[in-house]
Structure 1
Amino acid sequence: MKKISILIVLCIMAVSMSLAQQTRYMVFEFIKVETNQTYDFIEFKDFMEKVYQAAVNDKKIQGWDFWSLQSGADPSEFQYITITYYRDPVTMMNGLQEDDMVRYAMIAYPHLTEKQVVEKFNNAIESRDLAQRIYMQEIAKTQDNFKLIKGTLASFDLMKAVEGQFDIYEKAEKEVFQPIHQRRIEKGLMGSWSLLRTALPFGSEAKLTHLTMNIYKDYVQFFNAQEYEDMESTAEQRAAQEKGLKSRDQKFIYLATLENAIR
């Protein structure tokens, strides 16, 4: 009996560790580029793709995405969104330090000296403005095997849970809306969906508390999904949807196209 109890405990620990390893931590950066600096910024972005690939190969990060904004924000605010994926919150908060970036750049471009790399980074600072950075933890995700490729479309929905209804909102997303998204995926109307929560403490004046990523393979799938009506839902489920909608304020919706995904 004692051996069975030990085995049960070990199994629970193994499952817990597996779930912890599956949790994704992400840093979103909203980047503003002046029109006359666009060419220099894109050139630097191409340079950085190999740098981030070196960081992935070294297991410093799990991935990096570069998205081009299509709609949802004034172009004077920002035009690009990057997402850097980390394995745990500590690594995420430490981020990629300047020394790391220089080291990976020299691995990606062995013909460059340290001085040349530093100069390139310093010049790049002048071509962009980091409008906002947010730290997120993924807390729910649909079951799918969708792979991000160039041209993938995403709707980033920034939410703020109503004060005092934080748990109600998350419960609604997981128990009401996630099954709807799952049915869309099974019908070929969506690629993937995930719910993220801010990973840092926030006060009542925080601009957002959550973010949902709605992923589509292209515009055809996106517009078909907008026209889809969930006829399978019951009156009780529709009431739960309405209650869930009232538990959060949908602050912004940003539609973006994937330019590259480093894995």
Structure 2
Amino acid sequence: MKKSILLLILGIFLSSLSIAQDSRYLVFEFIKVESTQMYDFIEYKDFMEKVYQSAVNDNKIAGWDFWSLHSGNDSGEFQYIAITYFNDPVSMMNSLTEEDLVKYAMLVNPDMKEDQVKEKFELALGTHDLAQRAYMQQISNTNDNFNMKKGVLASFDLMKAVEGKFQDYEKAEKEVFMPIHQSRIEKGLMGSWTLLRTALPFGSEAKSTHLTMNMYKDYVQFFNAMEYEDMESTAEQRVAVEKGLKSRDQKWVYLATLESAVR
């Protein structure tokens, strides 16, 4: 049984390699900060924003976002989400090493010596707790030119495909729900939509198997989208939507504001 599972994971990974040029790979980090450490953490975040910009300039990563949460599973569980973008799965799994971070930190802070940078990183560990990390692959997205700038809103919807309906769920997202989101974008009710598949952890005990990123330029667009009802949908389309909803369990929805975007 274990051998079959390992072969399945290997097959998915090799398949990911073959389409790496057409996809993005994202690492989500869910961060918890105690109220007494908030000031020091924000200072560290501003410092790291410059470090990640240096990594982007060196083509080590494709981008980095920092989001503050407004709602979700438990407001005390974590308050921030950081997303690092990669162009292929190997880069995602290798990520940024301590040596990389020190190098890029010294590039953007030429007055700092190596031991000072390492000390800053060491002290920063006490300002926050990495509550959870998720490795994900983008598998579908809408056609749009959404501008990722500070202040935009996102709804991060964590999904778990019903056991035995993994392929049915992905098919429903791509063939049923994505056209609905595309229509909303064209009506000015949404900015962007992306479907991600969880790469790690993988297995029946995973809390979620997929995540959708729903982007809005501001609260006006967000609430207009929530109130919108598509009166033009056919009975056949409504049946397809209902069937698609039964193929997954929506675990949690996190509403967040973009604080920083490095590209």
Provide the TM-score with structure 2 as the length reference.
0.92
**Does structure 1 residue 80 correspond to structure 2 residue 84?**
no
Q: Structure 1: how far apart are the matches of 2:172 and 2:87?
A: 27
Name the residue aligned to 1:247. Answer: 247
Q: How many residue pairs get matched?
A: 247
Counting only pairs closer than 5 Å after superposition, residues 1-263 of structure 1 correspond to structure 2 as 20-200=20-200, 202-263=202-263
Gaps of 5+ in 2: 1-16
What is the alpha-carbon distance in structure 2 between the residues aligned to residue 74 and residue 181 of structure 1?
27
1:210–1:18 Cα change, 3 Å: closer
Shift of 1:63: 0.2
What is the Cα deviation at residue 21 of structure 1? 2.0
Contact 2:134 2:201 in 1 (8 A): no
Consecutive unaligned residues in structure 1, runs of 5 or more: 1-16
User: In the alignment, is the contact (CA less than 8 A) between 2:142 and 2:182 conserved in 1?
Assistant: yes
Deviation at 1:19, TM superposition (A): 6.3
Output one character per residue of 1:119-145: Cα deviation in whole Å (capped at 9) or x when no partner: 000000000000000000000000000
Structure number with greater Rg is 1
SS at match of 1:179: helix
Mapped partners of 1:205, 1:73: distance in 2: 18
CA pair 201-151 structure 1, distance change in 2 beyond 3 A: closer
Give the % identical residues: 74
1:98–1:139 Cα change, 3 Å: same
Query: Secondary structure, in 3 states, of the residue corresponding to 1:155?
Result: strand
- How far apart are 1:96 and its partner, in Å? 0.4
User: Helix, strand or coil: the match of 1:199?
Assistant: strand
Q: Distance in 1 between matches of 2:203 and 2:41?
A: 34
Deviations 1:199-225 (A, max 9, x none): 236111110000000000000000000
Aligned-partner residue type, residue 234 of structure 2: T
**Matches of 2:189 and 2:164 in 1, distance apart?**
34
Amino acid at match of 2:182: Q
**CA distance in 1 between partners of 2:201 and 2:28 (Å):** 16
Helix, strand or coil for the counterpart of 1:59? Answer: coil
| Whole-angstrom CA distance in 2 between matches of 1:75 and 1:249 | 21
Q: Is the 8 A contact 2:152 2:257 kept in 1?
A: yes
Cα distance in 2 for residues equivalent to 1:114 and 1:185: 47
Q: Name the aligned partner's letter for residue 100 of structure 2.
A: D
Q: Hey, what's the Cα distance between the residues in 2 that align with 1:201 and 1:122?
A: 27
Q: In structure 2, the residue corresponding to 1:106 is in which secondary structure?
A: helix
**Aligned partner of 1:62: which letter?**
A
**Structure 1 segments (4+ residues) deviating >6 Å:** none
Measure the CA separation in 1 of the matches of 2:128 and 2:22.
33
Contact 2:20 2:89 in 1 (8 A): no
The alignment's C-alpha RMSD in Å is 1.3
TM-aligned CA deviation for residue 18 of structure 1: 11
Structure 2 distance, partners of 1:139, 1:112, is 41
- Which stretch shows the higher mean deviation, 46-55 or 66-75? 66-75
How big is each residue's C-alpha offset from its partner over 1:27-49, in whole Å with a ceiling of 9 and x where there is no partner? 00000000000000000000001
1:73, 1:81 → 2: CA distance? 13
> What's the CA shift for 1:20?
3.7
Q: 2:13 maps to which residue?
A: none
How does the TM-score come out when normalised to structure 1?
0.92
SS of the aligned residue for 1:145 comes to: coil
Say if 1:162 and 1:63 are closer, same or farther in 2 by CA, change over 3 A.
same
Q: Contact 2:157–2:211 (CA<8 Å) still a contact in 1?
A: yes
CA distance in 2, matches of 1:140, 1:89: 16
